[in-house]
Structure 1
Amino acid sequence: MNAIIALSLFGISSLFLGFLNNRKILLPATLIFILIALGLNFADWNHEYFWFNGMLKTDNLSINFSTVILVAALLVVAISRHFGDDEEHSHPAEYYAIMLFSVVGAIMMVTYENLIMLFVGLEILSVSMYVLTGSDKRNLRSNEAALKYFLMGSFATGILLFGVALVYGATGSFQIHGIGAAVNEAKAQMGGQYGPILMAGTILIMVGLLFKISAAPFHFWTPDVYDGAPTIFTAFMSTVVKTAGVAATYRLLSTSFPGMYGLWGNPLVYITGLTLIIGNITAVYQQSFKRMLAYSSISHAGYLLITVLAKRPETNSSILFYSLAYSIATISAFAVLIVVSEAKAKAGKADESFDALNGLAKNNPFLAFVLTVSMLSLAGIPLTAGFFGKFFIFTDAFANPSILFKGLLVIAILMSAIGIYYYFKPIIAAYMRNGDTEKIEISPIYKYTLILTTALTIILGIAPDLVKKLF
């Protein structure tokens, strides 16, 4: 909670920093703000607090999810290379402030104890993303992406709110533990049956949350929005927003509706399988590196949903470890894309396809190595964090005795094999093809960030217990 208050104040402070003539102070100031919030977040460790009459709850699980969100936000801000250099058309103080406010919404989504606070956090995060997606006003793709995201996001929010209203009408509570108690009582009184209002409300809430994490068939907005948004904000969406959405979904289903697993569990198995198939197979046909990462994001939502479905004591740590491993690798990949695409744009050859990476290793071996490690991790290759992320998820899934779940596990393993194919495309382009990419100069903070993300990916792939035991 202290982190939420601090980030809100820091966001306002960033707006006032915009009145200064020196734009260079904004990046380090924002990094310091997030580091302070990270420290305040850890200060609540091993303490359980309720805030605002029990509407928010701070516990170790919410602190861990908040940590993943804050670390991802810190890394994204650190790679905001040349962000705001265009003094006529860019407003970096506002962008950084909106990013800080969006992190507030994301943390609220992992600490909510009341469905009203879930909605408030979701809207703070969503509205911020609508604005940042369309921040490049001179780019028609950015404008289209923002409009599409806003319209579809608004419908999804309306569906979620309708579901919240129905659940409240059926249970008489907005508190997630109160809803869970009412569900169990209804189950006992009605012999395992539930009223149609409660079932409809549960399904509608799930639809609204699944939209936010890009699960199929609610994923149609993702490729166009990720492709049209400025790349730095795409990296933010694919990590911070996804982690917050998965955490919110897991918190709700595991607290309020575990007794209704038969209602939401079986449909979610099919949704997860469809998400894995669509995300991975469609990614194979992409020619744009950025668009491939968008479909990759869809597939990783499927892997995370497997753990949500598993219902095991290890589920908490599995989701957290996978979210951290995925976020680090994804930010590394987007960081390389940002510097390469900027270099191509300066040369008058703006390009975000795989061809832009051709010959990258020749003059930029460091960037090629970072790209390789991130792709290997996303593919789940051993000695990377992504391997153990998938290993823990598949272990959880294998422990479920359901035949339906075994089939989902087979699909997940097959889709992982397909993922190796398209994740190796940028590696092949960087090392095995000729290109005209010149030596790219990167700032020290950018370089140190890439060293950190690459080192973490390798360390977590060698000794995953260093982090997993903390969860």
Structure 2
Amino acid sequence: MNTLIVISVLPIVLLYLGLYKMQKALLPVTIVGLLIALGLAVAQWGENRVPEYHGMMLFNNFSIAFSSIAIISTILILLLSKGYFERISQHIAEYYAIILFSLAGVIVMVSYYNLTMLFIGIEIMSVSLYILAGIKKNDFASNEAALKYFLMGAFSTGFLLFGITLVYGSTGSFSLEGIQSFVLAHSFGVDPLLYTGIILIIVGLCFKVGVAPFHFWTPDVYEGSPTLITAFMSTVSKTASFAAFLRLFATCFPVFYTFWLPILVIIAIITLFVGNITALYQQSFKRMLAYSSISHAGYLLFAILALGASSANSIFIYASAYSIASIIAFGALILIQQETGSDSFESFNGLARKNPFLAFVLTISMLSLAGIPLTAGFIGKFFMFNTVLAQYHTGLAIVAVINAIISIFYYFRVIIAMYFRTTERAQITVPSYYIFVFGFSALATIIIGVYPQFITNLI
């Protein structure tokens, strides 16, 4: 709970710093505050926690693990913001504050133990992201992204709320523990409204995580939003949404596994094919990352499909690997866009000759996202495939392997452009903050890929 308090108070402190024109203090204060919040979270690891605040929140190892990866990802993304917001506006305190308010919503989402807190967490995160998507006020693409995200987000919230309402009407409780007790006591004579509520909740959450066929907002919003905000949405937001998804279904609805399993299997298969095949045809690197994020959402669904003791650990490992690789990719894209003003694959041509370090870390990122061995991405995919095979979903594993092979093509397009295609280009100046983030993320990707025991079996 201390972590949530620190992250909630920190944005208010930043707004006061902005009020008194202390612009240079914003980033250091933000990083120090987030490190304190991370330390407070880790300090609670292993404690025998019980639901708090009348059963509204539960800060156990599950919450701490996902809160930690969300905070670490946010720190790395904010380190890339050095000088980024200054190019958009003179008033930058608000941008840091809104990102941290969104992070506060993320902490609520991974720690809720009551459906009302799930809704509140999602809305705190989502409303902040609606604003962040449109922070480039004079950019038509950014305005369009914010409007689309808001409309689709409001639409999905309607499904989620209606589903929560039906679940409450059937079980008489918003508490996960109360719903679980009701379901176990009435597993053979459940009101059909409960099944309808489960379907509507699935639809609402699928909008939030961006899986097909509820993915229509994702490419346009990712492309139109500022690249730094896109990095936050595709990593921190996605990780929190899947953690919330898993906690709800693992706690309340495992008894109805045979009911919702076929629905999620169909969604996962459609997501994998739509995400990967569409990514093949993209000429924009940023849009390719948007469609690839859809396919990664499909892989993350595997842990919920094969619901079991290892599901939380599988999502944590995959989300960690995906997040650090994506941060490298989006960070490199920011530098490329500053140099060329373009995000096409051609803008990466010859990068290895002028910026070998940048090309090297981006190669590690692409290899990890593709799931090549000795990278964290491979370990993530291995755990996901192992999870579904343990439940004898052999057909789903075959589909996943086929799609993993497809993804290699578009990830390797970037590597080929950097190393095997030449063009006249200037050397890109990589700031020290970027060097730290790239080096840390690349090293973490390799270490997890070679020594996965560092993060396996944490939850």
Asked if these proteins are the same fold (TM beyond 0.5), I'd say yes
Match in the other structure for 1:300:
296
Matched, 1:173 2:173: yes
Among candidates 420, 427, 435, match of residue 447 of structure 1: 435
1:95 maps to 95
Instruction: Name the CA distance, whole Å, in 2 between partners of 1:247 and 1:429.
Output: 36
Partners of 1:12 and 1:435 lie apart in 2 by: 47
Matched, 1:389 2:411: no
Name the structure 1 match of 2:405. Answer: 417
Quote the residue 1:331 is aligned against.
327
Indicate the residue corresponding to 1:153 in structure 2: 153
Distance in 2 between residues matched to 1:275 and 1:71, nearest whole Å = 28
Give the whole-Å Cα distance in 1 for the aligned partners of 2:324 and 2:106: 17
Aligned pairs (5 A) from 1:261-410: 261-344=257-340, 350-401=341-392, 405-410=393-398
The corresponding residue for 1:140 is: 140
**CA-to-aligned-CA distance 1:289-323 (integer Å, 9 cap, x gap):** 00000001000000010111112322221110111
Change (3 A) 1:199 1:369: same
Q: CA deviation at 1:20?
A: 3.2
What does residue 84 of structure 1 align with? 85
1:56 aligns to 2:52 (yes or no):
no
Instruction: Tell whether the 8 Å contact from 2:82 to 2:433 is kept in structure 1 after alignment.
Output: no
Query: AA paired with 2:30?
Result: T
**Aligned equivalents of 2:66 and 2:155: distance in 1?**
27
CA distance in 1, matches of 2:370, 2:90: 36
Q: Which residue of 2 aligns with 1:466?
A: 454
What is the CA distance between 1:436 and its match in structure 2?
3.0
Matched to 1:285, the amino acid is Y
Q: CA deviation at 1:35?
A: 0.7
* C-alpha contact 2:27 2:82 (8 A) present in aligned 1: no
Corresponding residue of 1:68: 69
Distance 2:180 2:439 in 1: 45
- Cα distance in 2 for residues equivalent to 1:220 and 1:26: 35
Alpha-carbon distance in 1 for matches of 2:394, 2:263: 15
For structure 2, the 5+ residue unaligned runs are none
- Please give the alpha-carbon distance, in whole angstroms, between the structure 2 residues aligned to 1:419 and 1:408: 16
Matches of 1:22 and 1:443, distance apart in 2: 22
The one-letter amino acid paired with 1:117 is M
CA 1:161/1:13 → structure 2, altered by over 3 Å: closer, same or farther? Answer: same
Structure 1 stretch displaced more, 309-318 or 160-169: 309-318
1:73 partner amino acid: T
Matched residue type, 1:301: A
Q: Number of residue pairs matched?
A: 458
Letter of the aligned partner of 1:274 in structure 2? I
**Aligned Cα root-mean-square deviation (Å):** 1.1
Q: In the alignment, is the contact (CA less than 8 A) between 2:326 and 2:365 conserved in 1?
A: yes
Deviation at 1:90, TM superposition (A): 4.5
Which residue does the alignment assign to 1:428?
416
**CA distance in structure 2 between the partners assigned to 1:150 and 1:362 by the alignment:** 42
Q: Deviations over 1:349-404 (max 9, x none)?
A: x1011111111111100100011000000000011000011011101111113xxx
- The aligned amino acid for 2:263 is P
After superposition, the C-alpha distances for 1:124-176 in whole angstroms (9 at most, x for unaligned) are: 00000000000001110000010000001001001100110110000000001
SS at match of 1:58: coil
Question: Match for residue 437 of structure 1?
Answer: 425
1:236 is aligned to 2:232: yes
Give me the identity figure in percent: 52
Whole-Å separation in 2 of the counterparts to 1:437 and 1:247: 43
Q: TM-score, normalised by structure 2?
A: 0.98
Q: Which amino acid aligns with 2:243?
A: A
Contact 2:354–2:426 (CA under 8 A) maintained in structure 1: yes
Is residue 12–residue 97 contact of structure 1 (8 Å, CA) maintained in 2? yes
Aligned to 1:196: 192
1:31-68 Cα distance to aligned partner (Å, 9 max, x none): 11111110111121122143221100010111111111
| Deviation of 1:21 (Å) | 2.8
Q: Is the 8 A contact 2:126 2:153 kept in 1?
A: yes
Q: Which moved more, 1:255-264 or 1:221-230?
A: 255-264
What residue identity is the alignment partner of 2:80? I
How far the C-alpha of 1:410 sits from its partner, in A, is: 0.9
Q: Give the structure 2 partner of residue 130 of structure 1.
A: 130
SS of the equivalent of 1:434 reads coil
Deviations 1:191-246 (A, max 9, x none): xxx32210111111111111111011100000000000000000000000100110
Question: Does 2:193 match 1:205?
Answer: no
Structure 2 counterpart of 1:347: none
Partner of 2:122: helix, strand, or coil?
helix
- Residue 185 (structure 1) shift: 1.6
Which moves more between the two structures, 441-450 or 215-224?
A: 441-450
In 2: Cα distance, 1:437 partner to 1:324 partner? 34
Deviates more, 1:374-383 or 1:60-69: 60-69
Normalization by structure 1: what TM-score? Answer: 0.95
Deviates more, 1:438-447 or 1:8-17: 438-447
Moved more, 67-76 or 44-53: 44-53
**Alpha-carbon distance between aligned partners in 1 of 2:265 and 2:306, rounded to the nearest angstrom:** 10
| 1:3-42 superposed matches below 5 A | 3-42=3-42
Deviation of 1:30 after TM superposition, in Å, equals: 1.1
Residue type at the aligned position of 1:397: V
Q: What's the offset of the Cα at 1:409?
A: 1.1
